[in-house]
Amino acid sequence: PPVATAPLPPATAAPPGQLPPSDKVIDQLNNALDFMDVAHRLRLREQFSRQKVHATA
């Protein structure tokens, strides 16, 4: 017979790996003429790298 699959309880659900950027950051990136320049000035790569390290610690 087919195996019934039940939804996983909330305790076993994994949290997201990173927090999404704020609305202010999204607006700045969406309105930028040079996306990469704005991302560099906001240090987005460093911010997301730190979040990933803290999430796994």
Q: What is the pLDDT along the chain (57 residues), one digit of tens a residue?
A: 555 565 555 555 555 566 777 888 888 888 889 888 888 888 877 766 665 555 555
Q: 39 CB contacts (<8 Å, ≥6 apart)?
A: 29, 45
pLDDT of residue 48: 63
Report if residue 26 sits inside a domain.
yes
Report if residue 1 sits inside a domain.
no
Q: How many domains does the chain have?
A: 1
Report if residue 13 sits inside a domain.
no
Q: For the chain, how many helices (H) and strands (E)? A: 3, 0
Q: How far apart are the first and last CA of the chain?
A: 43
CA 28 to CA 44: how far, in whole Å? 12
pLDDT of residue 50: 61
**Could you tell me the residue range of the domain that residue 30 belongs to?**
19-56
Report if residue 41 sits inside a domain.
yes
Report if residue 10 sits inside a domain.
no
